[in-house]
Structures are given as structure tokens and as C-alpha cells.
Structure 1
Amino acid sequence: MSKPIYVLGTGLSHDGSACLLKDGEVCVAIEKERITRIKHDGFCDSEAMQYCLDAEGISFDDVSAVVQNANFSNFDRGNKIFHGQPRIIPDHVKTVTISHHLAHAYSVVGTSPFDDMAVLVIDGCGSSWDDCLDLDGAHVPEAQPGADFNHLFFEKDSYYLYEKGKLRPVYKDFSPFGYFLKGYSMCPPTTKHSIGGLYSGVSQYVFQGMEDPGKLMGLAPYGRPGVYDFQAFECRDGRVFVNYDWMKHFNRPRVRYEDLAENFDYYADIAYWMQREIERALLYLVNHRFEHQPHKNLGYAGGVALNAVANAKLLKQTGFEDFYFQPAAADNGLAIGCAYYGWLEVLGQERIKHDASPYFGKSYEAEELYPAMQTYAGKISYRRLPEDEAINRTAELLAEGKVVAWFEKGSEFGPRALGHRSILADPRNPDVREHINRNVKFREDFRPFAPSVPLEKAGVYFDCDYPSPYMILVAPTREEWKKEIPAVVHADGSARVQTVTESVSPNYYRLLNKFGELTGVYVLLNTSFNKKGMPIVETPKEALDFFMECALDALVIDGCLIEKAAVAQAPRKVDEKKEWEKGLGSLYPENVGI
């Protein structure tokens, strides 16, 4: 048997990550925040790289190439120091650095189902002109700024063609940085004229944090049309520019936690207006790129590609026929693109089509769960169940109105929980949304929840004629089902749907179908296994800790059903390890209750 070929990719940005390819396929990948437990953690990549190597049981000596994304000026002493932090890549390992949008584009190339496609990248800020490796052959509408200013112009959108195994740039647009305009309360925090930059600026205005554009999308349906008629963007000559004159009308940025509740309509109206403006700008830009260089298929990445509402408009109002939305579209996906660039371009290997799975985290052994459970001796009951029985019992609990956390094998890569690190509930219960927001996730009441549904049944409940496996598209809920599944229907009647297939997620698919058999409704409320401001749980211990501090009713970890004891007992001297091996929960046996 020949020795495997490994390539390690790493994204040195906010939302840092690492991805390890084995013979051209993802064998493990992780976002740094899942390890450090710091939301959006990034930049120095040592923890994420080590996680991948350890999960595969290899060292850097086994890696043929490391490919990274960062601005070249941020490195010191070769690759040894990044932003003042030491890195762990040995000197003898071949290391290649690529530019930002190129990494995003290869994250699409590597994971897309298409053999050939157009690739679009739109975000808040990419690499500077000086650092771009993909300018040759691209149409750049603005003249080169000149050597003294190249470092101040940054990528804002890029368009490529991937055909016959090669990616080539077609159109790239740049913008000066926006920090000279900080006097505006909604000023883009990155480039002056990027769609993603302005969306982040408005998010900062409404939520006090640039990391919350998803919240802005969730708030928008509560706003009223016609309150604001400013055009946030000027669209001309195939380009999108941010207007600034209208910003002087907005001088009430949120500064206190209470401001949102006290002025809810004001901020909701802003969110509604901004969402409509984002959609207008995107439709203009995407249709222009299609006319400039048409193609049947479009792969899409960059932070703006996470806007599920706008994505649904692109499906219906552009010339492209088929779409692939990269599930880790933001900077957490850079590592995936870097790894595939290493495989395809650095090593010159053939592309191997990805199997559509987003579950890139390592699996945890039962032995790793047991020590975590010992922490809560006397406070929990558990039972290890055969796979079918675990699925059936979980479906029964959900049908009884319980809120259940579902933890299975390797974690999802990206911002959405897709059935491996999920909190699940019955969508028929109109009160469960408020209960989970207030007592489980501890977040704002307006935040919506997504439905998971078997792909073949999605059209029954939603006006959804397109697969949405990564929860990155919204669809209208069919009128006859709005009152039947209220917990997953947003204020405007829409839902951010996840379609589930047996080939990608067999156990979650079976759980959905078992719940459907019991209730007649083949839909589950699915939200990420975390609370406000916390990354999605990664390990069994993190899952147990969160389970014990909130109002979850049950936790299922790889077939082990865990519930809280009705009456907590003081720990006693029992051979818990022996009981664990027998498979019947023993913390303590009399508290199993099932």
C-alpha cells in the first residue's frame, strides 16, 4: 500500500481554521474557536493545525505541503512568527502562501459538486493589491493605484471560471480601505466600498458587534417597508459603491444592551432596509458578472454568501441555473481552500469530487465520554443504547415535547449545526421557540430557528424546489403549514431550511423520519448546540457542561442517552467504570428512569 499524501491548509484570519487533506479528500478540519472556546478566534493557527495532525495520528514529517492564507507582511522570520505569535511549522516543510479571494475560490473548487463552474467571491475585505496572486488575465475596472498605494487597495469581489481542471480569474474589483471615514456611525469597518463591509458596519450600529450580520438578517423581517428610502449603494458600470450621504441621518447607534428592546422598531426598520439594499446590490453585481462571462453553474463563497435570504433571490433572479453555496463561506473556509490549492496546484494532483459531507471534526471515543460523566455523578442518569433504539427513543422524547441535544461523531465545519451538534425540538409547539431562546441559548427573543426536513419531503412544508443541505437558503413556508409548525416559521413566513439526505447524514435522516412516523410531521426544529456568544460545542465534556447549566431535557452523545436525575444524589462508592462497560447507565442505576 502506498503512503498517503497529506496537505495541510490554514487560514490566518479572524475565524481561523485548519484543514487536512488525505489523498485529495478532507479527513479532518476544525475551526480554531471550537478548540479555544473564543468566538471567532483566529490568526495564529497552531492549535487548529495540531488538532488535525493529532486526529489523523501524524506529524508534520508526513505532510507534503502546508498552504496558508495571510497578507505576506504579517509574517516575521519566514513562517515562524505571525502577529507576534510563534507557529509550529518546521523549517523543512514546504510552505506556500496564497491570497485571500484565491483561497475562498479554491474552497468552492474543492467541495463543489460541479465539474466546471463560475466562482464568485464577495466579502468585506480580501488581500491587498500587492498580495494578490490572481491578477493576470482578470479584468480590473480601476487602474492600478500605483506602487505607493497598492497596499491600501483591497479585494472586495472576484469572479473566476473553473474549466477543464483549471481556475482562472475573470473579473476582480478593489476598494480603498475605509478607516478614513470613521466619523460615520455606520462606516464600513473594512474596505470603503464593499457589500460585506457595509453590512458589518450596520450590524455594529445595531448590535454593537461586527460579528453579528446573521442577527441583522434575522431582525429584518420585523421591520417595515418604506421607512427609509435611501440608496445605500450606487450600482454602475458593473460595480457597487457605498453611498455615504445618507449616513448622517443615523446617529443613534446602540450603546446599551437595553437599547434594542426599548427602540426595537427603529433598529428593525434599519435591518429591513439594509437587507433589501444588500439584495439589490447583489442582484446587480451577480447579473453583471453573468453577462460579462456567462456559465450554467455558480459556486459562491465569501462572508456575504452566508446571507440566506439574498441567496434565495439569486436562485430565482439571475441567469445561473445551478448553484453551490459554500457552507463555510466566511473566513473559516479559507483553510479548506488553501488545502485544495495545495493538492491541485502545488502538488499538481487530480481533483477528487467531494461527497457533500460538512462533518469534518474528529470522532470521540466512548472512553472520552466517561470521565466527563464522572463530573456529574449523582446528578445524571444515562443509558448506552443500540443505534436504532437511540434514534427511536430520541424521537419519542421529542414527540413528548422534550428539548434534546444531539451530539454525533465529527462536528460540522462552518457556522451552522447540521445534525451533529444540534439542539432539537418539536416545531409544532408554539412556545418552544421562546423557551429555547430564554432558557437554553440565553439569546434575544427575535432570533429564529431553522427546520430540518428530509429532502424528499421538503416541498410538502416549504416552497422549496432546490436542495438546501447547509441551511444557507430561505424558503417560504406553505400557507397550510404555517400554523402547524410555528416554531420554525419566521415573522415573514419564511424558514431557513436544511434538507437532509440519508447518504450524507444517515442517523439524523432516520431520526427525522422516525419523528415523522410518530407525529405525522417530518420536520424538526434544529439550532446550534451553544448559547449566545459561545462557539458550538466540540467535545463530550463541553456538551455535558452546557447540558447541566441550561434547561435541556436530554442529551444524546453517539447513542448514549443522558438525562438529569429527578433528585440529585450524593456520590457513592460504586464501580462506575464496570457499570459503564455493561452499557446500562449507573450514575446511578436507580436514576435511569427509562
Structure 2
Amino acid sequence: MFIGISAYNHESAVALVDSKGTLVDYYREESLSRIKGDKSFPLRAMKRIIFRHDLKLNTINSVAFYEKPLSAFLHPIKVASNYVPSSIDFLVHQFRNFNKSSIACYLDISKVLPGIENKLIYLDHHLAHTLTALAYSDIHQNICSVVIDGFGDRSTSSISYVEDCFNIKELWSCEYPSSLGLFYSAITDYLGFTVNEGEYKVMGLAAFGSTNNPYAKLMDDLIYWDEMEKQIKLKLEYFDFYKSVRRSYSDKLVCLLGEARDPFSKLMPGDCGFQKYADIARATQDLVVNLLIKIFKHAHQVTQSRNFLFSGGVALNTAALPYIARLSFIDKIIIPPSPGDAGAAIGAAYFAYLQSNLSAKTIIKPSLYPSNYSVVDQEVQLSKILNEKFEFLSRQPEESLLIAAELISNGQIVGTIVSNNETGPRSLGNRSILCNGKNREVVNTLNTVIKNRSPFRPTAPAMTLQTAKKYYLIDDALIESYFSMSATCFCKPESNALNFPVTHVDGSARIQIVQPNTLLSDLLQELEPIGIDILANSSLNISGDPTCFDLIDGIMVSSLTPLNYLLTDLGILKKK
């Protein structure tokens, strides 16, 4: 067995690959700790995988960590040292938290299973991202990998040529602190959202901004593509992330753009100040799109490939992907369902597997639902609350599905806790809140009442491929990304979809094309004959919390919100 670990920087996770090269289990630490974006050593996830698979020291071949700790620790310190004395607090913070950095991995893992630390190996951070993306690709040879994130071991962006899974050669990189990911995070901070968690809010807000607004030219000066050096250049004087732990942007950025948004103030369309921040978000998003296009053009020039892997945290920017896919030299872009750091644990596990299986020809494509979960484990401990707070409308799987479809057709909202968890941050039906995607009142209730989300954030639509082609401009280069809700698309001109409540204000939607033999495909099969061909699909959680992992979490969400129905492996529940 081969274990991959990501931890300490963003989301932590653990992946398990067996001797055949199959991803057999995967957990994000936040799912078990219930701490959003938990970046601590994934102790709970490790213990769960060891217990559920009865792993012993002699059955674990190796454990791969998703970055090289010393390099990751020293690079920010080296840069910050150039800005003493203003960077003193940053340097003190780094050294004080030495034992909380990835350097502690060796000691932390030894506490889980003594002796396992001797099987620990390390790999380059961007290689972990590349292998994760490669795992979800049907093309495993002669493909270009583009990795763009905040910061890895040393690089913030890289281009590699994948000859095969054993021969991956890096051809270009951009060194810290020039970082497209950290630039986007700094603007996220300026706009009053939490760094590493609120970037998707910036994407949603950007749709309300105006093209070529007054902030667009100002933003162009902050980060740009140097055509001569073929590098991203960041004007550091506008940012503080490389020398301060208090905030990501500097006073000079405030002088340029005006007062930063108070994170505790409401941000509602039509309110005073909303348009300013929407315009800044739009200028930021447009600038990122233009820079991504520059990078992909350079990637094509140095590799001559027409097929691309795209991973790293910036690959979560679903709104940028339609513009990249339009480039004439691109045939296909593969984005893994979890392109950020949590997903890099999968790439690390495959690295460990490949190191021990040099005769392997390809990587077996993982399921979108790899996290093993059985509600049977919780049925006894939940029996009391289920009997007191809920009633079963049915315990039969087929009948429960029909009842759920009927509820949705009658304007009800249904939560799901069915089978295994999804890999990535987007729920694809197994841990979802669902309703009729064409019923505006119900979608608004789902979004603002149950989820307590900002009104400028859209809810995603789920549908079959046939329905998607009816309403939306589907790009063949991104077809696999739509399965995991990893790319947006635009409505067809004059399409009714422009009026759907799941369509964003700019005519875009982060669609999910449902795959056959899944819960959503079964529901749509029942609903389509009565005119409901689109479901609104949002993750089963309350805004700010991790997506539900098990039935206990689902019951908690139902207890704290007006969500009255839960479709589970035990049957369909109604709150009393």
C-alpha cells in the first residue's frame, strides 16, 4: 500500500493507492475535524485509513509527502530577509512556527505508527500536482502540465512536458514571490474575504463588475507578463504577503485603489460601495485570465502540445477556463476534481506507487467518489436521534428515490448523504442540497436561507449532457471538467437559460454534467418527463463549514437550518 500526504500549508489530506495502482481511499482532514480548510497534520485522516484498511507497518510500502519541507520553509525566509527591518515580524513568526511547518512531518507521522517515518519520501510540490492531474486524464503521454498556485517548494508556476508518468521534465518556472495565486489572494484580502477560502467569492463578485472599469488600468500595473524574459512580474511594493503576517497587501495598494473593504460589513448588490468592489473583482479576474492565456501560450510554444493538464490552486478559478479553452491550439484541458493542495495528496500517493512499480505503464483513473463511508457504522449510535427528531418516509432505496423526486417536483429541498464522499471541494450529488433548478423562489431559499450564502454567489446547475447542449455553449476541450463541476460555461444566445436562477448575472454557469449510474442521473430520469431537467446542486453544509462527511454531519445541518428532508443510505428522512 502507498500513502500520500498533503499538510501544513492549505487543506491537508491523505490518499491511499493499492499495489495495483488504484486509488482506494482518500480523506480531507477538514471532513473529519470539521474545521474548514484544516491545514494541520492529517492525524484523523491517517488514523481512519490505517484502521479501515487494517494497515500494518509491513503492509505499507512507502509514504510520500507532497513537497520538500526544507526548501518550502527556507524560500520565504530568504526573500523576507531582504526586507529587514520591515519583515522582522514575519521572520520571527516563521521561526517560532518552525515545528508547525512541513518540516515537522517526520515527527508527526512517527506518532501515528512508530517506524512508518522510515518509509517517508518527499517529492517536488508541483510534481505532486502534475501527477494528480495526470491520474484523471485519459491521455498519459506527450501532454503538457501547467501548475499555478500560491507557492510550492520554490516555484509559484511551472510548465512541464509529460512524456509518460516516469518522464516528466520541467521546462519553465516562476520563482517566489512573483505569484499569480498570491496576487489573487491579496486582492481577496483587500476585498474583505478570508485568504485561501474566499477566492471563490471574488469570482462570484466579479460577474457584477463592469468591463474596462476605471480600476482595470490600475490593476494592470500590479502584475504583468514580461514578454522578453517570459516571466510573471509582480510589483512587490503593493503587497505585504512576503514580509508580513498581518495582511497580504500594502498601504500603497490602498492609496491606489482606495479604502479596503471592512470584512465585517455586508456586501449586497445595490448597496453603497458594492459596485466599486465588484469592479475591482472584475478587473482582478480579467487580469488573471489574460495572464493565464499568456502562460498557456508559452506552454504551447515550449512543448508544442495541444493537450494540457492544469492544476494548482489557481485551477480552481473555474470562471477563467472558458477563455483558456478558446485558444486555437488547445484540444483538451484536464483539471482534476481537487486541483489544490488537498488533491496533491493523490499525486503524492501515485508518486510512491510509481517509485516501487517501474514497469507500470499508466495510472489507473480514480473515481470521483473515493472516500469510503458506510452509514451502517453509525446506525446504532444515531438510532435515538433518528427516532426522536426524524421519521422515515421509506427505507427502501427505489422508493426513497421516487419520494425524493416527488418532493423536488413539489418545490421542496432535499439533502443527500449517499455512499462515498466526493474527491474535490464541489459536491456532485452524494453530499448535496438539491432542488428544482428552474424554480427561482426555491433556489433563493436554498442559497440564502439554508446555506446563508452571499447573494452574489450563484448556485450550480446539474443536468445531463443532452440538456447541457440544449441550453449552454459546451466546449469539447473542457468536457471532462463539467463532470466534476470544475469549469463554467455561457448560455447560448437567446437561450431560456439566461433566465434560470442557476445562471449567474453575466450569463455564465458552473455546470455539472451528471454521469450515468449516479444518484443525480437517477433523479433526473424521474424528473425529466415532468419538465424538470435541471437541478440546483449545492454542497451539504452551512456557509463557512466543511461539506458534510457523514450522516451525523447531515443531521446537524438539518437541525440548524430549515432543511427538512435527507436522502440517505438508510432511506429518506423527514424532520419532525
Q: Which range, TM-score by smaller chain?
A: 0.7 to 0.9
Partner of 2:5: helix, strand, or coil? strand
* 1:96 maps to 2:96: no
- What residue number does 1:315 align with? 325
Output the aligned Cα RMSD: 2.4
Assess, with a 3 A threshold, how the Cα gap between structure 1 residues 30 and 315 changes in structure 2: closer, same or farther.
same
8 Å CA contact 1:482, 1:493 repeated in 2? no
8 Å CA contact 1:452, 1:499 repeated in 2? yes
How far the C-alpha of 1:385 sits from its partner, in A, is 3.4
State the Cα deviation string for residues 457-483 of structure 1 (Å, max 9, x = none): 310121114321111111112345446
Matches within 5 A, 1:349-368: 349-355=359-365, 357-368=367-378
Give the Cα separation in 2 of the matches to 1:515 and 1:394. 10
Assess, with a 3 A threshold, how the Cα gap between structure 1 residues 514 and 78 changes in structure 2: closer, same or farther.
closer
- What residue number does 1:159 align with? 159
8 Å CA contact 1:67, 1:98 repeated in 2? yes
Give the Cα separation in 1 of the matches to 2:113 and 2:226. 46
How far the C-alpha of 1:424 sits from its partner, in A, is 0.4
How far the C-alpha of 1:341 sits from its partner, in A, is 0.5
- What residue number does 2:32 align with? 35
Letter in 2 for 1:517: P
* 1:476 maps to 2:483: no
- What residue number does 2:88 align with? none
User: Where does the alignment leave 5 or more consecutive residues of structure 1 unmatched?
Assistant: 1-5, 129-154, 177-190, 566-594
Letter in 1 for 2:152: G
Partner of 1:401: helix, strand, or coil? coil
Give the Cα separation in 1 of the matches to 2:448 and 2:529. 30
Give the Cα separation in 1 of the matches to 2:102 and 2:210. 51
How far the C-alpha of 1:259 sits from its partner, in A, is 5.0
- What residue number does 2:226 align with? 236
Q: 1:106 aligns with which of 131, 137, 144?
A: 131
Give the Cα separation in 1 of the matches to 2:498 and 2:413. 18
Letter in 2 for 1:406: T
- What residue number does 2:242 align with? none
8 Å CA contact 1:16, 1:42 repeated in 2? yes
Give the Cα separation in 2 of the matches to 1:356 and 1:69. 18
Partner of 2:320: helix, strand, or coil? helix
8 Å CA contact 1:428, 1:484 repeated in 2? no
Letter in 2 for 1:554: Y
8 Å CA contact 1:363, 1:410 repeated in 2? yes
Partner of 1:371: helix, strand, or coil? helix
Letter in 2 for 1:173: S
8 Å CA contact 1:328, 1:415 repeated in 2? yes
8 Å CA contact 2:29, 2:42 repeated in 1? yes
State the Cα deviation string for residues 415-451 of structure 1 (Å, max 9, x = none): 1101110110101111223212322111211110111
* 1:170 maps to 2:170: yes
Provide the TM-score with structure 1 as the length reference.
0.82
Q: 1:14 aligns with which of 10, 14, 24?
A: 10
Give the Cα separation in 1 of the matches to 2:60 and 2:100. 21
Give the Cα separation in 2 of the matches to 1:226 and 1:83. 50
8 Å CA contact 2:136, 2:334 repeated in 1? no
Partner of 2:162: helix, strand, or coil? strand
Partner of 2:512: helix, strand, or coil? strand
Letter in 2 for 1:547: S
Q: 1:495 aligns with which of 509, 512, 518?
A: 509
* 1:412 maps to 2:422: yes
Letter in 2 for 1:387: P
Provide the TM-score with structure 2 as the length reference.
0.84
Stretch moving more, 36-45 or 416-425: 36-45
How far the C-alpha of 1:351 sits from its partner, in A, is 4.5
* 1:267 maps to 2:277: yes
- What residue number does 2:53 align with? 56
Matches within 5 A, 1:228-377: 228=215, 229-230=217-218, 231=220, 232-237=222-227, 238-243=230-235, 247=253, 248-258=255-265, 260-261=267-268, 262-355=272-365, 357-377=367-387
Give the Cα separation in 1 of the matches to 2:51 and 2:172. 38
* 1:562 maps to 2:542: no
8 Å CA contact 1:283, 1:318 repeated in 2? no
Give the Cα separation in 2 of the matches to 1:104 and 1:198. 20
How far the C-alpha of 1:414 sits from its partner, in A, is 1.3
- What residue number does 2:520 align with? 508
Q: Which has the higher helix share?
A: 2
Assess, with a 3 A threshold, how the Cα gap between structure 1 residues 346 and 495 changes in structure 2: closer, same or farther.
same
Give the Cα separation in 1 of the matches to 2:100 and 2:561. 47
Partner of 1:388: helix, strand, or coil? helix
The one of the two structures with greater contact order (alpha-carbon pairs below 8 A, sep at least 6) is 2
8 Å CA contact 1:312, 1:474 repeated in 2? yes
How far the C-alpha of 1:218 sits from its partner, in A, is 0.8
Partner of 1:458: helix, strand, or coil? helix
Give the Cα separation in 2 of the matches to 1:384 and 1:343. 44
Matches within 5 A, 1:78-93: 81-82=104-105, 87-91=111-115, 93=118
Partner of 2:41: helix, strand, or coil? coil
Give the Cα separation in 2 of the matches to 1:286 and 1:199. 18
8 Å CA contact 2:16, 2:26 repeated in 1? yes
Letter in 2 for 1:454: T
Give the Cα separation in 2 of the matches to 1:124 and 1:80. 19
Give the Cα separation in 1 of the matches to 2:361 and 2:33. 32
8 Å CA contact 1:112, 1:354 repeated in 2? no
Q: 1:124 aligns with which of 139, 150, 158?
A: 150
- What residue number does 1:424 align with? 434
User: Where does the alignment leave 5 or more consecutive residues of structure 2 unmatched?
Assistant: 74-97, 239-251
Stretch moving more, 39-48 or 77-86: 77-86
Give the Cα separation in 2 of the matches to 1:459 and 1:200. 34
Q: 2:538 aligns with which of 527, 539, 548?
A: 527
Letter in 2 for 1:511: L
Give the Cα separation in 1 of the matches to 2:366 and 2:100. 39
Assess, with a 3 A threshold, how the Cα gap between structure 1 residues 167 and 455 changes in structure 2: closer, same or farther.
farther
8 Å CA contact 2:436, 2:532 repeated in 1? no
Give the Cα separation in 2 of the matches to 1:421 and 1:78. 32
Give the Cα separation in 2 of the matches to 1:324 and 1:106. 12
Partner of 2:452: helix, strand, or coil? coil
Stretch moving more, 366-375 or 211-220: 366-375
Partner of 1:397: helix, strand, or coil? helix
Give the Cα separation in 2 of the matches to 1:512 and 1:78. 46
Letter in 2 for 1:501: Q
Letter in 2 for 1:432: V
- What residue number does 2:93 align with? none
8 Å CA contact 1:76, 1:82 repeated in 2? no
Give the Cα separation in 2 of the matches to 1:84 and 1:274. 41
Give the Cα separation in 2 of the matches to 1:483 and 1:460. 9
- What residue number does 1:208 align with? 193
* 1:517 maps to 2:517: no
8 Å CA contact 2:205, 2:457 repeated in 1? yes
Partner of 2:144: helix, strand, or coil? strand
Stretch moving more, 278-287 or 438-447: 438-447
8 Å CA contact 2:471, 2:492 repeated in 1? yes
Give the Cα separation in 2 of the matches to 1:58 and 1:10. 16
- What residue number does 1:572 align with? none
State the Cα deviation string for residues 22-56 of structure 1 (Å, max 9, x = none): 12111000111001001111131222212222232
Letter in 1 for 2:322: A
Partner of 1:533: helix, strand, or coil? coil
8 Å CA contact 2:69, 2:103 repeated in 1? no
How many residues of Structure 1 are paired with residues of Structure 2 in the alignment? 516
8 Å CA contact 2:564, 2:575 repeated in 1? yes
8 Å CA contact 1:9, 1:336 repeated in 2? yes
Assess, with a 3 A threshold, how the Cα gap between structure 1 residues 45 and 256 changes in structure 2: closer, same or farther.
closer
- What residue number does 2:210 align with? 224
* 1:379 maps to 2:382: no
State the identity %: 24
* 1:45 maps to 2:71: no
Partner of 2:501: helix, strand, or coil? helix
Matches within 5 A, 1:142-157: 155-157=155-157
Partner of 1:561: helix, strand, or coil? strand
- What residue number does 1:179 align with? none
